[in-house]
Structure 1
Amino acid sequence: MQHNKICSTCGTHYTEIPADGICTICKDDRQYLPEGGQKWTTPAELDKHHGVRISKVGENIYELVVIPKFAISQRALLVLSAEGNILWDCVPLLNEPAIEFIRSKGGLKAIAFSHPHYYSNMNDWAAAFDCPVYIHRSDQQWIVNHGPNIRLWSGEEEHLWEGIRIINIGGHFPGSSILHVPNLSALGTIFSGDTIHLSPSMRHLSVMYSYPNQIPLPRTEMKRIKKRFENIQFDALYGVYGYQNLTVGAREVLHESLERYLV
């Protein structure tokens, strides 16, 4: 592994700590520094004290989670397809059991991201599976490790295969995106990361500038995002955490949620 420092708050891997000693991701007002200040760890320490739990959460869908919880505690989602598998978002630990499991399912054809908070150790994942990493060009400034596998894309959509698309939504970050997979449910399934965020009640979806700092988006941006979803068909949604599996009526929940913002 090429990285030597990991931000303990967001899980981003660095080859060189920034000159001010502060994680570039965490000092932005969409994230935060913990009480007590910046803390760093190393890949060796992370591997020593943590593992990766892999669970099936749907047909041809597996989640990967670092245990015990570390940093943001997001999950990565492995989406299986006949023409090639996709890893949606990353977790900051890549170990041999995880590599072996993914290889047993056919490896990875691509890695794609919702937004910069989950870039973590994306270059290690890409090197292990010799695959491209798709990041929207609008979020290029947040890439702290420019590995050779990174593919910047522009515009509203990036078409992959079997009708699978990465769709730029914006909001949380300019490049915030969702992954749309048409054949996992009747109307299509979206993988959202933090681009849209499902509440514990499973009845409300939010779109915010900052979730941890509770900073809303302006009304004009909410209207734009609502319009952006008008032509995206889906009925199932998988978010960033393990409870965020909404497999019935997801589009209706999103529509009603965005309407509440605009009353």
Structure 2
Amino acid sequence: MSGGVGIGQHAKILVTEAGNLMVDVPAYIDRAAVDAVMRLGGLAGIIASHPHMYGAQSAWAEACGGADGPVPVYISEPDAGWLARRPANTIVWSDSLTPLPGLPGSPAVTASQPGGHFPGSVVVHFTGQDGVGVLLAGDTVGVARDRKWATFMRSFPNYLPLSGAVAERIAGHLDRYDYERLYDNFSGVIASEASAVVHRSARRHADWAEGRMDHLT
């Protein structure tokens, strides 16, 4: 789901046998969009990758809820201070989370907090229908325009990079996952060998950020 409202983020919906999870929400909500989500089976939860994505999450949770109330909204503890509202369906979590359990033939969906873009920035990992590991990176890892490299930014619109140490920390954190594909917060996709791309990109980022390539400037 994408559009021109807000910063044009692309919401992702993971459809699994254990339920559906929306990773980040569109900045706009209307009846047609909610109906489209409900036709997929509704939502078991919503998870935000970072505070820029909090936006309309309470409205989505309420619209996709049922008799038990709004669906759970999972918020990374280090970033919880950015919440404007904290309704009862808000679940603040730390370190790691399993928002959707594994079932026979359906591995669990997991999340963790590598930080970087925000102190509590979140990534979500799952296994695709083809059996390949997939990472939803939000703005923690940005995909470069040629799709062969990634970048690590504190602020994308202001072109403010993270330090080399933080870029390498993020790459190391992501080693807990087996992932072949990576999707960023917009239209960026690394379709294969994503883990290797992230590692070589972190090394390159560190080399430039820490001055080891200054002889080329």
The TM-score normalised by the length of structure 1 is 0.71
Partner of 2:6: 71
The number of equivalent residue pairs is 196
Letter in 1 for 2:199: H
Identity of aligned residues (%): 28
Letter in 1 for 2:52: H
Please give the alpha-carbon distance, in whole angstroms, between the structure 2 residues aligned to 1:70 and 1:99.
Answer: 16
Partner of 2:72: 132
Alpha-carbon shift at residue 74 of structure 1 (Å): 0.7
Task: State which of 248, 254, 257 in structure 1 corresponds to 2:192.
Answer: 248
Correspondence 1:190 to 2:135: yes
Please give the alpha-carbon distance, in whole angstroms, between the structure 2 residues aligned to 1:106 and 1:97.
Answer: 15
Within a 5 Å distance, the mapping from 1:155-194 to structure 2 comes to 155=95, 157-160=96-99, 161-162=101-102, 163-194=108-139
The CA RMSD over aligned residues, in Å, is 1.4
Deviations 1:89-138 (A, max 9, x none): 01121111111111111100010111111111110011112210111000
- Cα–Cα, structure 1 residues 184 and 115, in superposed 2: closer, same or farther, change >3 Å? farther
Alpha-carbon shift at residue 185 of structure 1 (Å): 4.4
Gaps of 5+ in 2: 66-70, 103-107, 208-217
Correspondence 1:224 to 2:169: yes
8 Å Cα contact 1:186/1:235 also seen in 2: no
Alpha-carbon shift at residue 229 of structure 1 (Å): 2.0
Alpha-carbon shift at residue 226 of structure 1 (Å): 2.5
Partner of 2:92: 152
Please give the alpha-carbon distance, in whole angstroms, between the structure 2 residues aligned to 1:71 and 1:134.
Answer: 21
Partner of 1:99: 34
Partner of 2:212: none
Partner of 2:68: none
Alpha-carbon shift at residue 170 of structure 1 (Å): 0.3
8 Å Cα contact 2:42/2:64 also seen in 1: yes
Within a 5 Å distance, the mapping from 1:10-89 to structure 2 comes to 64-66=1-3, 69-89=4-24
Gaps of 5+ in 1: 1-63
The TM-score normalised by the length of structure 2 is 0.85
